[in-house]
Structure 1
């Protein structure tokens, strides 16, 4: 069993979760991104599995927005209030353990007052009215306490914060006499306080006036203290639920991942930390599975912080409970092999002592996982505001950790990429102002070359192209193209065996995984605004991505076209056509590929070949058909109907 446990441990590190180093990197990047995304009036917190360092297949991104101008207190001990803040007091007399009602004490916001309803002569904040304030085109769906997009990819929870630990959870502080969690961790968690999310106890007579007490931050900090074996055990339980239990139509959606988290937190408190070792992974997993069956059978699952709150109360009963218990017991008889029913695991020849544990391969696996990570989706929440840039610079100067410096360096590059595009948009009045803007924009562009191999250089080339410095633009394009070699990879694709051998991993490994992005990643050229988009494309809106090699040959075509170098621009057009035909560094996403055909159609139209241009634009429309909102700003597509 020990050998099988170790084999399973290495398999999960390689194929599902990543190594301990990878998980730490994801957590650090999320922390940095949260810090940079936070604003004067709200704090970003990446939560859910991804916030814990687990990026499971099919999971969404959960982000909590903590509103800083609202305070919740269990007892109002002072009559002095900040006139710019809203204050609520906590009422739990009429609620189930784990829930509370928020009584309005003082608020300068009429909108906040309008979100309250009268109950027993006082105004209480309605969770339903509160959530409606945050519904919009991007997030039009209510999903529990969150607002979500129509595809369910991102859940956003706007929540309130109490700096004080709630009385109902006071027993947790002194409950555990084991080695986990240690006193230091407890102190950090209690010092943070708790959050309140807008959802009430289902079936309660005043459900819409109740708020669930959330320990998301504390739970995340507890999971940060897990050994890697504990985390892998947690991952196995989530795989079992999502890929095995929920595939049974009779059991689907009866359990949620929060129950599993609660169970593993209780077990972690009950056993010695020394139990969680790689050679004991399977027994630990089976122990958690056995506890799950017990909880369902006896309909009891105490909340980890507030045990009086039975999470299974009135949740799973009747025929549902019978079906669920039968399913769990059948699976349990398979032992640890029940996880082989998951498609994530079953398609791989399991689990021998020959599982690859070579550090170079683990490094590449971590790099692959990082390149496909949702962390990069989070980058879109960054803004080009000055305080973001100042925060990064301060961290880079003051931080002692090289890894943290590299992560901040990466995000600074992304912030600078946004900053330079917004600066270039600003109108100028005098030549002196224009000169200052030119130099400032150029300095940001030079700082934006550190998040991947080439996109920063192509953005710099775009700057010179817009300034009509075509020769300088051409030089930068050739330099960037020289970096587009076969040992690089585009985001979202797998590293091939050839690439594993070509990349000098020994050198890169010493740089760290995040630092390696600068050397191995070919990212799309992302136009956050229309400032650097070549005017020939006739794109007036922002948010477009063009594959790097495609953009290089297209921009080279434009430069030679304006310099009337006929042979050179024909060569660039041929290279552009070959790049698209060979699918060279174009990734798997449809939108960048559609923009590739749009660039090709534009080049052909400029040359007067309208028939070929129409064919290219038709391909653009086919690829963008699921995204009609992207078609309208591409004005050259009108050629399809005009010819």
Structure 2
């Protein structure tokens, strides 16, 4: 069924979750004293990758703890303790009183004094932390919303509480049929969080904090079987493509959180006897009727604190009447209302016309091995984004990765760890070299050089094909141009293979070479991914200016430059041949120019054309082709400013002006 392709098969969803889990474990283990904990929430963390799925992040300081009573404060000696007071707030909300001093400036500036007691203002804290992760972000509920690397996501800065809320104590007594006791135990033991937003109908909207169960909800979604997860996905599609179609964010009354809550209640109340693919439409219908009932009554009970009516202040009066009428029209159409879901119309039609038709959820029938590999490699690439540019943290990661290997990891955990380790080894090699290259004795320099080379070779052994380019880059950096060219020739031969896969695209010949092999071997042999140069690490002198500009961009602070591997290979070939062979240099420059001019999105994606034109201009400039370099820099300015390198481009153009006929007025 098409729904399985949109939502994901059980194997695909498991892969996404396992890779996300190991990323979070590693990130939080490497946390420094000034870095907050992070957990992902939202649709992507649950395993969805549908168009428009949100990637929400939760951050909280580990040295600030919320308690429900003073007795619990004894567990946190030397930490900042905050007391949650629910006595004058609606169900699901609380005031947070600071009991012990804080040294965090942004937290201190969020304090309000009420009756000689200091309380944290949610509105002040939200403003103070809004742009903490994403510069120039805007407020959206308790989150700062922004765009990084072309992806929209929300960041919520919270406070953690290790204890289960007293107001949610009755929830445990309701858990007879679902969720399983093990899940209930894990949820209660992990406590809750407080998000910086108050109740619109409360007495202290600007001061109140909402009790957040985001991590508990993620565990509940993980505990669903695949049919239940598909039902949840179908409801999300129906909400987006039918109920909220054409509405602005301000006009939307129902949200995906209401849909998720409905699925939770249906599961817990054991309303449906058989959750199976053949029964999928009935499962959808039961959940839809519950939402219709809630809208009619104007009450949507929070799953954990049922006294918290999530419709209060939003779905009432004329808005409630309007929404009920719209939903009732859909209800009268029966299952046929799903025909308005454009993405699955043909599949729903076949099921409606043939009620006994089997809804296929089998992995091998829904998605090919090639498609699965493509998704898996893309997931690995996206999650390889832990920003480590400190030698001590790099070494801490390598020790921790070794410890993780002794644990019972899933195959997807292992693959993600393999990718992260290759990336950290590469950064460690360059940081080591940069740290000791200008200091120490010759013997020490030799040892560091040998160690860096071995790290890069190990990274290439466990990484993908394009990781060979980091070895060539290191040889170029250390003026071993012949060795660098030898590695580049080897890499170019691998890149020319018809089975090569690049990030999200897999060739037709891929299965001929990779079919039946382990994923680890497929990744090493057949996969090429973008080159990431982390800002703060000196990789190559020719791109220093771009790294500095990108990292300090006023519009968007980037953590790394992302360069297509084919462009990076040609750049290194031009730069190496410049010192070795003038004839080969000319041919390498022509090959690079042809690559950029072809405008082929599969080799030079649109998002990375700003840096690709920039690299062409740099290569033309260092080889004395000033007029051509000027044109390339102009083209870089016209591309989508993904990397925020406009300032570097303008600086390079200004330096070229004396050698060209171009005028500064054209800049």
Q: TM-score, normalised by structure 2?
A: 0.86
Is residue 454–residue 548 contact of structure 1 (8 Å, CA) maintained in 2? no
**2:29 equivalent to 1:49:** no
Specify the alignment match of 2:329 in structure 1.
Answer: 330
Out of 563, 574, 580, the position equivalent to 1:546 is 563
Give the 3 Å change call, closer, same or farther, for CA 363–351 of structure 1 in structure 2.
farther
* Structure 1 residue 577: Cα displacement: 2.9
Give the 3 Å change call, closer, same or farther, for CA 110–470 of structure 1 in structure 2.
closer
Specify the alignment match of 1:311 in structure 2.
Answer: 310
* Structure 1 residue 233: Cα displacement: 0.9
RMSD: 2.9
Specify the alignment match of 1:95 in structure 2.
Answer: 89
CA distance in 2, matches of 1:408, 1:150: 27
Specify the alignment match of 2:540 in structure 1.
Answer: 533
CA distance in 2, matches of 1:200, 1:531: 45
**2:486 equivalent to 1:475:** yes
Is residue 24–residue 39 contact of structure 2 (8 Å, CA) maintained in 1? yes
1:408-464 per-position Cα deviation (integer Å, ceiling 9, x unaligned): 112111222333333333253122442333233223322333675333110110000
Out of 506, 522, 527, the position equivalent to 2:516 is 506
Give the 3 Å change call, closer, same or farther, for CA 82–191 of structure 1 in structure 2.
closer
Is residue 115–residue 129 contact of structure 1 (8 Å, CA) maintained in 2? yes
* Structure 1 residue 491: Cα displacement: 2.2
**2:25 equivalent to 1:26:** no
* Structure 1 residue 534: Cα displacement: 5.0
Out of 112, 124, 131, the position equivalent to 2:126 is 131
CA distance in 1, matches of 2:254, 2:205: 22
Specify the alignment match of 1:213 in structure 2.
Answer: 211
Specify the alignment match of 1:3 in structure 2.
Answer: none
Specify the alignment match of 2:402 in structure 1.
Answer: 393
1:268-325 per-position Cα deviation (integer Å, ceiling 9, x unaligned): 1122786211111111111111211111111111111111111112321233223222
Is residue 9–residue 363 contact of structure 2 (8 Å, CA) maintained in 1? no
CA distance in 2, matches of 1:36, 1:155: 21
- Which residues of structure 2 form unaligned runs of 5+? 352-356, 552-559, 661-667
Give the 3 Å change call, closer, same or farther, for CA 331–536 of structure 1 in structure 2.
closer
Mapping of 1:44-443 within 5 angstroms?
Answer: 44-77=38-71, 80=74, 82=76, 84-109=78-103, 111=105, 112-136=107-131, 138=135, 140-149=137-146, 153-178=152-177, 180-249=178-247, 252-271=251-270, 275-346=274-345, 351=350, 359=364, 361-373=367-379, 376-384=381-389, 385=393, 386-399=395-408, 401-427=410-436, 428-430=438-440, 431-443=442-454
Is residue 37–residue 382 contact of structure 1 (8 Å, CA) maintained in 2? no
CA distance in 2, matches of 1:472, 1:284: 63
Out of 460, 477, 480, the position equivalent to 2:471 is 460
CA distance in 1, matches of 2:364, 2:502: 23
Residues 55-64 or 102-111, more deviating: 102-111
Q: In structure 2, the residue corresponding to 1:633 is in which secondary structure?
A: helix
Q: In structure 1, the residue corresponding to 2:405 is in which secondary structure?
A: helix
Give the 3 Å change call, closer, same or farther, for CA 592–242 of structure 1 in structure 2.
same
Is residue 586–residue 593 contact of structure 1 (8 Å, CA) maintained in 2? no
CA distance in 1, matches of 2:267, 2:439: 65
Out of 609, 633, 641, the position equivalent to 2:648 is 633
* Structure 1 residue 404: Cα displacement: 2.6
* Structure 1 residue 153: Cα displacement: 1.1
Q: In structure 2, the residue corresponding to 1:434 is in which secondary structure?
A: helix
Specify the alignment match of 2:554 in structure 1.
Answer: none
* Structure 1 residue 108: Cα displacement: 4.1
Q: TM-score, normalised by structure 1?
A: 0.89
1:57-98 per-position Cα deviation (integer Å, ceiling 9, x unaligned): 112311111321011111111674755311112211101111
* Structure 1 residue 483: Cα displacement: 1.8
CA distance in 1, matches of 2:323, 2:571: 58
1:577-617 per-position Cα deviation (integer Å, ceiling 9, x unaligned): 33334446755643422322233233333443333333323
Mapping of 1:558-569 within 5 angstroms?
Answer: 558-563=575-580, 565-569=581-585
Specify the alignment match of 1:620 in structure 2.
Answer: 636
Q: In structure 2, the residue corresponding to 1:457 is in which secondary structure?
A: helix
Give the 3 Å change call, closer, same or farther, for CA 371–403 of structure 1 in structure 2.
closer
**2:502 equivalent to 1:490:** yes
CA distance in 2, matches of 1:274, 1:467: 68
CA distance in 2, matches of 1:486, 1:217: 44
* Structure 1 residue 469: Cα displacement: 0.7
Residues 573-582 or 157-166, more deviating: 573-582
Is residue 37–residue 383 contact of structure 1 (8 Å, CA) maintained in 2? no
Q: In structure 2, the residue corresponding to 1:58 is in which secondary structure?
A: coil
Specify the alignment match of 2:663 in structure 1.
Answer: none
Residues 202-211 or 596-605, more deviating: 596-605
Residues 430-439 or 18-27, more deviating: 430-439
1:226-285 per-position Cα deviation (integer Å, ceiling 9, x unaligned): 011111111111111122221244994211111111000000112278621111111111
- Which residues of structure 1 form unaligned runs of 5+? 1-7
CA distance in 1, matches of 2:189, 2:363: 42
* Structure 1 residue 40: Cα displacement: 4.0
Give the 3 Å change call, closer, same or farther, for CA 400–134 of structure 1 in structure 2.
closer
Is residue 592–residue 616 contact of structure 2 (8 Å, CA) maintained in 1? yes
Residues 198-207 or 392-401, more deviating: 392-401
1:5-30 per-position Cα deviation (integer Å, ceiling 9, x unaligned): xxx3xx2222x122211111111111
Give the 3 Å change call, closer, same or farther, for CA 338–423 of structure 1 in structure 2.
farther
